[in-house]
Structure 1
Amino acid sequence: MHKHHFIATSALLHPHRFCSRTLDRWWQSPQQIWLSSRGVHSHKAGNLVTVRAQVTTEAPAKVAKVSKKDDEGVVVNKYKPKDPYVGLCLINTKITGDDAPGETNHIVFSTEGEVPYREGQSIGVIADGVDKNGKPHKLRLYSIASSAIGDFGDSKTVSLCVKRLVYTNDQGEIVKGVCSNFLCDLKPGAPVKITGPVGKEMLMPKDQNATIIMLATGTGIAPFRAFLWKMFFEKHEDYKVRAPLQMFFPFFLTSSMALHGSSWEFLQEFEKMKELAPDNFRVDFAVSREQTNEKGEKMYIQTRMAQYAKELWELLKKDNTYVYMCGLKGMEKGIDDIMVSLAAEDGIDWLTYKKELKKAEQWNVEVY
């Protein structure tokens, strides 16, 4: 039986629509749960001072494990760009308030069970139309935001969390991302070309006693929504929580997201957990844009990590701790800056030790 402990950090949690009947149908209450969440906001790396120390201690050796990537049941590249699967848009819901910075949508596609995937994988989407050269648009990869059985629990759908990309270039021109705008504009019933699934890097560990640290910025929350949906809202005889479940879950929560429209609905998920485990489940929310650390610095994701750095370093020295990082490219360097200092205090070279963590599948990164 899997006994997963979760410790998660995120800079932006994108909610989704769901009904209480869905939760009632798929909920399985863990015996022991402890969730602590605090606000974080990250657009760029903060300034952290790296402390250098003499490295004299050999890093702890990692034990051999069964690789998650050897699972024969994991499907990869069933559908390719030249012969994609054509699914249908079932739901396309804007999940950010009107005055929120940017627009993010929760989108559900019907696949009729023809696109089997696992939590942590991605699918490709090919936007309709052609590029400036008259050729079909190239596919864009998106992390899957639903568990393997989908939001409806029938293994016939796949969900994405998509931010509409709109920015002004150096020439002052407004540029719109082709695929993100195509997806955010999709109407229910519209066809969509899907490739994949792809990826094994972000698959959940096979370790039955895993402690999982999840770090996300932006729509990087997608694979973790898949992880958590499986853990909290589904019944799996071989995937139960038998031990206390602890989570750090800082996330970006603007006032507009918290107070307006459908974006508030994701909090029903946490409220349901509190109802089912009132003595063992705790949720603390904060408006991250107003939050600073004890030095008055803005609360970037690595700034929040620094507050728990020693605890996290102790966990990372254990063979059953797994880090999952998904989001913006700059986030990993910010985390490295913190861990270099802490590892050096023990005489360990962090970058060398991180290589060992990667070999042991304890350090898993998907950034864009």
Structure 2
Amino acid sequence: MFYTYVQIAFHILFTVKSPLDCEIRSVRQIGGNGIDRSFYHIVIDHQGQYSFAPGQYCGILPPGVSSRTNRRHAPRSYSLAPVLNDDGVDGSRCFSLGIRAPIVAPGERERFRDICICSQFLSTAGSGTPVQITGPFGKFVLSPEDLNGETNLLLIATGTGVVPYMGYLDTLLKSHRLGSKHGKILLVFGVQSPDTYLYRAALEKYVSEFYGRLQVLVSYSRHGAESERGYVQDMLLKERRLVQSVCGSDGRSCSIFICGRKSMEKAVLSSLGEVFSQHPDLDCMMSNIKVEVYE
């Protein structure tokens, strides 16, 4: 696994022993495959007491006690993102999460009693439900050079791995409007089907707002003709010329980010190694890739 972390001082303000009391403002489903998973957009009101850098994550403390340990449930980590325009809330006092939750059939409730506790809690919560959070954590963040528009960006994601990039794009768009000239941004996003293409409308809006600077490539693993299906690592190889152009043109360096399930990490790194096999600074490029993966 390759990591490069920006040398910025981050302060964890809230811990398991001293969490921040917040309130869930809204929960809405934003995707699902109708078989084993659904995806939800959660808006949490922190009353302006919680700040984070785009790319960081928080811990959510689900209520209750584990039947196995007789102790409070452990916190679950979720990437933080700004709220969307159509959430209808004050962005200075709220943030959002994009989560995956299991589809639990009536006959499987016992099996899920002690697993996926936090995602089940969040996905079924109503407006006004209290929730405790910890953090912020993590250094999967944009560098000062990225924020100043000095680099091109290659963002690679699967599933809810797209969530931290929503914060990146929001931040970069705001500085873009202030006059900073950004390089190219390429998001390569792997999903099962159009029904699990998370934040599609928001991403398409970003594409239009960046005026040609942002491009999104979507790889469907279970949709379309068999010859057209593939995973995100396959899309990197299929569109290698485009990927190479982002990471080797216009005199800019390129920052590469990978976020998603741990099972895709090795294959994505292998594809990147093949795509950039002729790059004069291959070792340096690969060693500077920033990775955030989860089980």
- TM-score interval, smaller chain: 0.7 to 0.9
163, 179, 187: which one aligns with 1:222: 163
Q: Distance in 1 between the 2:269 and 2:188 partners?
A: 20
Name the SS of the counterpart of 1:225 in structure 2.
helix
Aligned pairs for 1:99-118 within 5 A: 99=34, 102-118=37-53
- Equivalent pair of 1:89/1:109 in contact (CA under 8 Å): yes
In the superposition, relative to structure 1, how do residues 142 and 283 fare at CA in structure 2: closer, same or farther (>3 Å)? closer
* Higher mean C-alpha displacement, 138-147 vs 187-196: 138-147
Q: Which has the higher contact order (CA 8 A, sep 6+)?
A: 1
Name the SS of the counterpart of 2:44 in structure 1.
strand
Q: Distance in 2 between the 1:343 and 1:286 partners?
A: 20
Q: Tell me by how many angstroms 1:282 deviates.
A: 7.3
- Equivalent pair of 2:24/2:44 in contact (CA under 8 Å): yes
Query: Residue 6 of structure 1 aligns with which residue?
Result: none
- The structure with the largest strand share of the pair is 2
In the superposition, relative to structure 1, how do residues 80 and 340 fare at CA in structure 2: closer, same or farther (>3 Å)? same
In the superposition, relative to structure 1, how do residues 288 and 215 fare at CA in structure 2: closer, same or farther (>3 Å)? same
- Equivalent pair of 1:90/1:108 in contact (CA under 8 Å): yes
In the superposition, relative to structure 1, how do residues 333 and 313 fare at CA in structure 2: closer, same or farther (>3 Å)? farther
Query: Residue 183 of structure 1 aligns with which residue?
Result: 122
Identity %: 21
Q: Distance in 1 between the 2:157 and 2:206 partners?
A: 23
Q: Distance in 2 between the 1:226 and 1:93 partners?
A: 19
- Equivalent pair of 2:57/2:78 in contact (CA under 8 Å): yes
Q: Distance in 1 between the 2:29 and 2:172 partners?
A: 25
Q: Distance in 2 between the 1:285 and 1:220 partners?
A: 13
Query: Residue 140 of structure 1 aligns with which residue?
Result: 76
Q: Tell me by how many angstroms 1:337 deviates.
A: 2.1
Q: Distance in 2 between the 1:315 and 1:256 partners?
A: 28
Query: Residue 204 of structure 2 aligns with which residue?
Result: 270
Q: Tell me by how many angstroms 1:197 deviates.
A: 0.4
Q: Distance in 1 between the 2:240 and 2:289 partners?
A: 16
Q: Tell me by how many angstroms 1:267 deviates.
A: 1.8
Residues 62-107 of structure 1 deviation map (CA, whole Å, 9 limit, x = unaligned): xxx9x7322x4x4x32101011111000111111268475211100
Query: Residue 264 of structure 2 aligns with which residue?
Result: 331
- Equivalent pair of 1:328/1:367 in contact (CA under 8 Å): yes
In the superposition, relative to structure 1, how do residues 181 and 302 fare at CA in structure 2: closer, same or farther (>3 Å)? same
- Equivalent pair of 2:260/2:292 in contact (CA under 8 Å): yes
Q: Tell me by how many angstroms 1:177 deviates.
A: 0.7
Q: Tell me by how many angstroms 1:304 deviates.
A: 0.4
Q: Distance in 1 between the 2:31 and 2:44 partners?
A: 20
Aligned pairs for 1:114-193 within 5 A: 114-132=49-67, 133-146=69-82, 152=89, 154-165=91-102, 174-175=111-112, 176-193=115-132
In the superposition, relative to structure 1, how do residues 300 and 205 fare at CA in structure 2: closer, same or farther (>3 Å)? same
- Equivalent pair of 2:185/2:213 in contact (CA under 8 Å): no
Name the SS of the counterpart of 2:37 in structure 1.
coil
Query: Residue 152 of structure 2 aligns with which residue?
Result: 211
Q: Tell me by how many angstroms 1:160 deviates.
A: 0.5
- Equivalent pair of 2:36/2:102 in contact (CA under 8 Å): no
Name the SS of the counterpart of 1:130 in structure 2.
coil
Equivalent residue letter for 1:367 = V
Equivalent residue letter for 1:204 = L
In the superposition, relative to structure 1, how do residues 340 and 228 fare at CA in structure 2: closer, same or farther (>3 Å)? closer
Q: How many residues align?
A: 278
In the superposition, relative to structure 1, how do residues 239 and 79 fare at CA in structure 2: closer, same or farther (>3 Å)? farther
Name the SS of the counterpart of 2:31 in structure 1.
coil
Q: Tell me by how many angstroms 1:331 deviates.
A: 1.7
In the superposition, relative to structure 1, how do residues 242 and 157 fare at CA in structure 2: closer, same or farther (>3 Å)? same
Equivalent residue letter for 1:226 = G
Q: Over the residues paired in the alignment, what is the CA RMSD in angstroms?
A: 3.9
Equivalent residue letter for 2:290 = N
Report the TM-score when normalising by structure 2. 0.77
Q: Distance in 1 between the 2:277 and 2:214 partners?
A: 35
Residue segments in structure 1 that go unaligned for 5+ positions in a row: 1-64
Aligned pairs for 1:1-368 within 5 A: 68-70=6-8, 72=9, 74=10, 76-96=11-31, 99=34, 102-132=37-67, 133-146=69-82, 152=89, 154-165=91-102, 174-175=111-112, 176-200=115-139, 202-207=140-145, 208=148, 209-232=150-173, 234=174, 236=175, 240-243=179-182, 245-252=184-191, 254-256=193-195, 266-267=200-201, 270-271=204-205, 274=208, 289-291=222-224, 296=227, 298-309=229-240, 311-313=242-244, 316=247, 320-342=253-275, 344-345=277-278, 353=283, 357-358=286-287, 362-368=288-294
Q: Tell me by how many angstroms 1:154 deviates.
A: 4.0
Name the SS of the counterpart of 2:167 in structure 1.
helix
Residue segments in structure 2 that go unaligned for 5+ positions in a row: none
